[in-house]
Amino acid sequence: MKSLETLPINIVTIPVTPLRQNCSVLWRKAGHTGTLVDPGGDVDLIMRAVSNNNITIEKIVLTHGHFDHVAGADELSKMLEVSIEGPHVDDKFLLDSVAETARNYGIDGARDVAPDKWLGEGQTCSIAECDFEVLHCPGHSPGSVVYLNRTLRFAIVGDVIFKGAVGRSDFPYGDHKALISNIKNKLLIADNDDIAFICGHGSSSSFGHERSTNPFIV
Ligand SMILES: [Zn+2]
Ligand SMILES: [Zn+2]
């Protein structure tokens, strides 16, 4: 597996909300222009990480519409004057009810999110000044996307797959069959074994490691 340390990109992960969601700040080692991925809340913590690393955020990118991944996006996009890209439009219903859902989890101050740009299969999204391919991988949520850079052998997978687990699909709109099929057919293919990924909760891993050990796949 390609180690994340060898990437030409710095990654700082900030666990946010009581759900310990991995908000990530990514920027090129050679520069100071960064991308915020899944700013789910705790905006102060995120802003501290950004200023501690002397990063200018150029964009916010979302993997899917769950409140723990997006609840800080609207506030940060206005504060930093940057746009929000992704996920797939099929998660619009989730992004339209972020404040309400967060309140049900006892979290105040969350705001609904209106992305500036929806993303779909095969489109390109720039993250940390590198081009990532967009893979639409519904199942955990209808609009979940994975960002993949084949040259860097690096992916950002949100809650589609984790180290040793897969995203939950027991929501009314979840689809376990579709999730497993997308994981097997789009991510865990032999050619991708050396691709490292960061995910929405817990540790990073690689597609090859999960292909041979993930109990939900093997
Ligand atoms: Zn999720
Ligand atoms: Zn999550």
Distance between Cα 19 and ligand 2 center (Å): 7
Domain definitions of the chain by residue range: 4-213
Amino acid at 108: D
pLDDT of residue 108: 86
Q: 30 burial class (0-12, 13-18, 19+ CB within 10 angstroms)?
A: exposed
Distance between Cα 139 and ligand 2 center (Å): 13
- Give 2's pLDDT tier (boundaries 50, 70, 90): low
Distance between Cα 140 and ligand 2 center (Å): 10
CA atoms of 77 and 115, how far apart (whole Å): 10
Distance between Cα 186 and ligand 2 center (Å): 20
Distance between Cα 150 and ligand 2 center (Å): 24
Distance between Cα 205 and ligand 2 center (Å): 16
For domain 4-213, give the fold: Metallo-beta-lactamase; Chain A (3.60.15)
Distance between Cα 162 and ligand 2 center (Å): 10
Q: Give me the mean pLDDT over the 105-116 stretch.
A: 93
DSSP assigned state of 153: T
Q: Give me the mean pLDDT over the 12-37 stretch.
A: 95
pLDDT tens for 7-17 read: 999 999 999 98
Average pLDDT, the chain: 96
Ligand showing the shortest atom-to-Cα distance for residue 140:
1
pLDDT of residue 218: 83
Distance between Cα 30 and ligand 2 center (Å): 30
CA atoms of 212 and 4, how far apart (whole Å): 20
| Residues comprising the chain, all counted | 218
| pLDDT at 3 > cutoff 90 | no
Nearest to 128, CA basis, from 107, 94, 154: 154
Q: What residues contact 1, with CB distance under 8 A and at least 6 apart?
A: 194, 196, 205, 206, 208, 209
| pLDDT at 65 > cutoff 80 | yes
Ligand showing the shortest atom-to-Cα distance for residue 142:
1
| pLDDT at 133 > cutoff 60 | yes
Q: Give me the mean pLDDT over the 122-145 stretch.
A: 98
pLDDT tens for 171-212 read: 999 999 999 999 999 999 999 999 999 999 999 999 999 999
Q: What residues contact 41, with CB distance under 8 A and at least 6 apart?
A: 16, 17, 21, 68, 71, 72, 102, 107, 110
pLDDT of residue 109: 85
| pLDDT at 62 > cutoff 80 | yes
